[in-house]
Structure 1
Amino acid sequence: MINVLIVEDDPMVAEFNRKYTEQVEGFLCGGWAASVEDAKEFLEKQAIDLILLDVYMQESNGLDLLAFIRETGVNVDVIVISAASDMNSIKKAMNFGAVDYLIKPFHFNRFLEALTGYREHVSIVRERSLLSQEELDRLLYHKSSTKELARLPKGVTKSTLAMIWNCIRQHEAMLFSTEDIAESAGISRVSMRKYLAFLTEIEALAMETIYGTIGRPVYQYRILPQAEEIMSGYI
């Protein structure tokens, strides 16, 4: 397993990154640090393979941790995940050896690409003493396919997900309810809710609450623009 430390001062964002990380096969979130100093203390106590590093934090700048890692020779890799999109920050991160850089907000498939590319990198480094040109190119340029690499949560199967997604794409109205798709897919509303919740979590769907004049609110869904790209990693 590849042990990951998330360095992010926003607890909600850190939790999202943890969930994303543990959806990818071969990765385990070993901890969370809310500042550069917390991260340094964590690295002294526990071995970490990969850090997911934010740049802009209230108490510190994540690039200072990256500089510290390179200056002290700590054996850990770093993927920067930050809203910092200025060329100076990106260039500094690359110069200090970041293996990838994701600009917030990002789509899950880009996150998946970063982690699967890194996993392939680790596999080649651990298993090879000599490299072919093709293997070296994959290390340098992160050439890998994310198709079928995403992990499905317990209780969600690829075949049922593909069938539900096909029903969603064929639905004529832009907005649809749990009942709409459950009826066309021929499965229970309880099961459908689980799949729609998953599709919402990975940002293939957006959920909207529709309030009527009486009774409970109705939850309706719509397909997001990046949905097909995201779903290509699952079905």
Structure 2
Amino acid sequence: MQPIQVLLVEDDPMVRQVNRQFIEQVAGYHLIGTAKNGVEGIQQIKQLKPDLVFMDIFMPEQDGIETLKKIREKGLKVDVIAVTAANDIKTIQKMLQLGVFDYIMKPFSFDRMKHTLQNYRHFKAKIDEKNEMTQSELDTLLHKQKSSPQNSDDHLPKGLNAATLEKIVSFIGTQEASVSAEEVANGVGLARVTARRYLDYLEKQNKVKIDIQYGGVGRPVNQYRLIH
């Protein structure tokens, strides 16, 4: 199966970079472009012809709802996954009615993103290989997507939570160089000792690597960077 071509439509540069890194970590996907709003998104869809669009809802010039309406009105053959902070029922219903493949709320974990991408790849492979389906095959295909991992705290040590953990991972992932615990604490809005607890956990899970920085007066400083 050819790599699935993805277009990312997101106005926030930091979120756009995090989403890019998440997508690129999943096998079978290729990010072919990004857009800062719905107007650019429509232009990119016409030009690049992606298989899948990851799209925010709250965007300047043209929001995600209006963009998805135009995608359907123009008959553009592309699937859409909403990745957004919008959690009100009216918006969720509207996006579902317009046919999004999935709806992911921010902040989300890499596992949640990976689950969606794996589901979509399975879905596309089955759709592309068949001209017809039995009811049983269709039920399996549709209902396989029902269960998805949540940003659960159950697997984390006491005192840590998944949302804060993802913020830290996102922050480190957007930095050009490795960062200290103090920089993480300031960037995410935590006490330094709390940031260290999360960083220690990530290091034990092989999610971050420690670079020891020497020089100057005082003890060496641990610097952290993501392991890809």
TM-superposed deviation, 1:58: 3.0
The amino acid that maps onto 1:41 is Q
d(CA) in 1 for partners of 2:223, 2:197: 10
SS of the residue corresponding to residue 77 of structure 2 reads coil
- Note the 1:39-188 alignment, pairs <5 A: 39-143=41-145, 175=197
Q: Which ranges of structure 2 fall in alignment gaps of 5 or more residues?
A: 150-195, 210-216
The amino acid that maps onto 1:53 is M
The Cα offsets for residues 11-32 of structure 1, whole Å up to 9 and x where unpaired, read as 1111111111111111100100
Match 1:199 to one of 207, 211, 219 = 207
State the superposition RMSD in angstroms: 3.2
Describe the shift of the 1:144–1:28 C-alpha distance in structure 2 as closer, same or farther (beyond 3 A). Answer: farther
TM-superposed deviation, 1:198: 5.6
Q: Counterpart of 1:23?
A: 25
TM-superposed deviation, 1:59: 3.1
Name the TM-score, length of structure 1 as normaliser: 0.64
Describe the shift of the 1:138–1:19 C-alpha distance in structure 2 as closer, same or farther (beyond 3 A). Answer: farther
SS of the residue corresponding to residue 91 of structure 1 reads helix
Describe the shift of the 1:143–1:100 C-alpha distance in structure 2 as closer, same or farther (beyond 3 A). Answer: closer
TM-superposed deviation, 1:70: 0.8
8 Å CA contact retained: 1:112, 1:146: no
The amino acid that maps onto 2:207 is L
TM-superposed deviation, 1:46: 1.4
d(CA) in 1 for partners of 2:71, 2:198: 49
d(CA) in 1 for partners of 2:38, 2:122: 28
The amino acid that maps onto 1:75 is K
Residue 216 (1) aligns with residue 224 (2)? no
8 Å CA contact retained: 1:124, 1:135: no
8 Å CA contact retained: 2:80, 2:101: yes
The Cα offsets for residues 118-172 of structure 1, whole Å up to 9 and x where unpaired, read as 111100011112223342123322449999xxxxxxxxxxxxxxxxxxxxxxxxx
d(CA) in 1 for partners of 2:198, 2:56: 37
SS of the residue corresponding to residue 207 of structure 2 reads helix
8 Å CA contact retained: 1:9, 1:34: yes
Total equivalences in the alignment: 170
d(CA) in 2 for partners of 1:72, 1:176: 46
